[in-house]
Amino acid sequence: MDNHWFVGVDIGGTTIKMAFIDTYGEIITKWEIATNTHNEGRQITTDISKSIFMKLDELNEPKEKLAGIGVGAPGFINMENGFIYKAVNIGWKDFPLKDRLEVDTGLPVVVDNDANLAALGEMWRGAGDGAKNLLAVTLGTGVGGGLIANGNIVHGVNGMAGEIGHLTSVAKGGAPCNCGKTGCLETIASATGIARIAKEKASESNDSELAIILSRDGKLTAKDVFDAASKEDALALEVVDEISFHLGLAIANLANAVNPEKIVIGGGVSKAGDLLIDHINKHFQTYALPRVAQGAKIAVATLGNDAGVIGAVWLIKQKVNN
Amino acid sequence: MDNHWFVGVDIGGTTIKMAFIDTYGEIITKWEIATNTHNEGRQITTDISKSIFMKLDELNEPKEKLAGIGVGAPGFINMENGFIYKAVNIGWKDFPLKDRLEVDTGLPVVVDNDANLAALGEMWRGAGDGAKNLLAVTLGTGVGGGLIANGNIVHGVNGMAGEIGHLTSVAKGGAPCNCGKTGCLETIASATGIARIAKEKASESNDSELAIILSRDGKLTAKDVFDAASKEDALALEVVDEISFHLGLAIANLANAVNPEKIVIGGGVSKAGDLLIDHINKHFQTYALPRVAQGAKIAVATLGNDAGVIGAVWLIKQKVNN
């Protein structure tokens, strides 16, 4: 199998990321196509299939070069048959993604949740550095996650595992969350949550850079907070410490239960880098058991937008080689 | 293999539970021997070995009837070689439990943590009812646990997974825990924690049955609390609700991350039965994502003291049959 390539596909609401990747996880070439959400997304598998074979032609390689396709998709996925129960951004409902793509391409296909595949990608080729027990936390507009135990994704009984954003951080009186509950980690540690907390604090302050930005722009972003914190703005540091307390506590609680070797923090908010990691780590050390804390390293994700396609290829590679 | 038996061994600080168990998980016979902790526990594997062959003679069965031995041990275990790093109650330090027992018996041996094996036992033959994604929580003198994902025990990177008792329930100002941290779930939901909380509340009350017992006996037990709660004593119900809030919240947070099918509550405190489960479930439903809550059932462990030997046999059976 060693000179075969695999296809990694990461389907998002506006673009589909694609790559040919070799058996060692090296990207040969990567490209994107637009996500066609018309007609309930029925055209998408044909678009992917056509794009794969056009790219193969471009590179003068035969179909036999490809050994299989790994696909990351948003929404709820039935792992047994590769059906997408529901992906609101795309319009799929009970969509047979795996079957359609296998028929269109004649190649074996595996499908998994995009957040899980990003965790696998980081495990294989990124900050996870081969760790077979890994917790991935993605801090973006929302807070997502993936859990790998014994080298395998933990899906749980109905594919909901890894919903780290919906751990409850504030049991009583927390902010409302998109999921319908209140006080979820996502209401605090997402870019949106950070902006909300910063705004609350800045409204009651006069001398912070955040208060100046808020009165100038009428709004605050997570980036404003980290920029100000890196300049030692006291209020911004207070916001960073508050969200890091909740992240460190939630991650320590999970770590006491699953004892990961690596905890990989990704997503847009993770661009804050050491400033964020150091604050999270301080609280993590307080709440993790000493031996759990010794065994675990918190690191920023390194693969960026490539994590999904690389993780997808890891998964199809396991399947084809077994 | 179908007419072979396996040996289940559950090593505790005072007694060693043993059983011959068939390939379907039915106990053929079970018995106990004393744990000989003299001389740093060096005699224990010989004691186990002798006891197995004596019992086999008693039953007029040849050595060939036995296909392997599964052993549950307390303390920290190196899963790769079956060494016990440290088991304080027994005196073992870097003890080659698996190797010794294999040499003494001539049979294949697997060793795992006793709490993990109890979880496996419940998965196979108890309240877990075959669920491949299961969370076991043991409420005894302390609070222990075990996590099964994709049908396998989650050990984590250094065997610490499942330390559910040390999730932090009270981040600031909690009671001190044996582990060195404060505010752990164990300080609240163990038999000891329940007694502590009941005593605090009863000391400030006059009209509760708990206050009467406290002034009569000078102490309160977890059993006193549940007995009084089952007679609708308001203060006792308040204690039950408080500990159930912390249990329900911690279990919901873990469930959002691992999405179990079954949550099995065992240990002495679980004898409180429906009174406890109903209270836990109320809070669990508040904090679990709706789809996670739908997928999960909270149930009292059914195997009691047999869970460990049955789980041990499940594990050795997997190994011998592969």
pLDDT at B231 over 70: yes
B260/A131 touch (CB, cutoff 8 Å), yes or no: no
Residues pairing with A297 in the sheet: A262
Q: Across all residues in chain A, what is the average pLDDT?
A: 94
**Segment B82-105, tens digit of pLDDT:** 888 887 778 898 899 999 999 999
Is B257 within 8 Å of A254 when comparing Cβ atoms? Answer: yes
pLDDT of residue B139: 94
Q: Inspect the interface and report whether the beta carbons of B295 and A160 lie closer than 8 Å.
A: yes
* Residue A249: pLDDT over 70: yes
pLDDT of residue A205: 83
| Mean pLDDT across A277-305 | 96
At residue B206, the pLDDT reads 79
Closest chain B residue by Cα to residue A185: B253
Q: Which residue of A lies nearest to B262 if distances are taken between CA atoms?
A: A157
- The residue among B180, B172, B177, B169 whose CA lies nearest residue B196 is B177
Query: Residue A61's pLDDT band (boundaries 50, 70, 90)?
Result: very high
- pLDDT surpasses 80 at A1: no
Percent of chain A with pLDDT over 90: 82
> How is residue B80 annotated by DSSP?
T
The three-class DSSP label of residue B74 is: coil
Is the pLDDT confidence value at A322 over 80? no
Superfamily of domain covering A5-120+306-320: ATPase, nucleotide binding domain (3.30.420.40)
ipTM: 0.90
Residue B297 pLDDT greater than 90, yes or no: yes
Q: Which residues of B touch A295 (CB under 8 A)?
A: 156-158, 160
Residues of chain B contacting A132 with CB distance shorter than 8 Å: 157
- Chain A residue with the nearest C-alpha to that of B146: A257
Question: With an 8 Å Cβ cutoff, are B159 and A257 in contact?
Answer: no
Rounded CA gap, B54 and B111, in Å? 22
Contacts of A287 in chain B (CB under 8 A): 168, 171, 181
Instruction: Report whether pLDDT(A193) > 90.
Output: yes
Within 8 A of A294 by CB-CB distance, chain B residues are 158
The two structure tokens encoding residue B85: 């790093």
User: Which chain A residue has its CA at the smallest distance from B258's CA?
Assistant: A161
pLDDT at A245 over 90: yes
**pLDDT greater than 90 at residue B282:** yes
pLDDT at residue A101, rounded to an integer: 97
CATH homologous superfamily of B129-302 equals: ATPase, nucleotide binding domain (3.30.420.40)
CB contact under 8 A, A163 and B257: yes
Q: How confident is the model at residue B321 (pLDDT cuts 50, 70, 90)?
A: confident
Residues of chain B with CATH 3.30.420.40: 5-120+306-320, 129-302
- The answer to whether the Cβ–Cβ distance between B257 and A179 falls below 8 Å is no
Residue A207 burial by Cβ neighbours in a 10 Å radius (0-12, 13-18, 19+): exposed
Contact criterion met (CB < 8 Å) for A166 and B249: no
B39-53, B82-96, B243-257: range with lowest mean pLDDT: B82-96
B120-149 per-position pLDDT tens digit: 999 999 999 889 999 999 999 889 899 999
Chain B hits for A296, Cβ within 8 Å: 157
Q: What percentage of chain B exceeds 70 in pLDDT?
A: 99
- Using pLDDT thresholds of 50, 70 and 90, give the confidence band for residue B5: very high
- Average pLDDT score over residue span A214-218: 93
* Closest by CA position to A45, among listed A104, A85, A4, A3: A104
CA nearest to B104, candidates B178, B51, B173, B182:
B51
In this prediction, residues A142-148 reach a mean pLDDT of: 92
Inter-chain residue contact A163 with B256, CB threshold 8 Å: yes
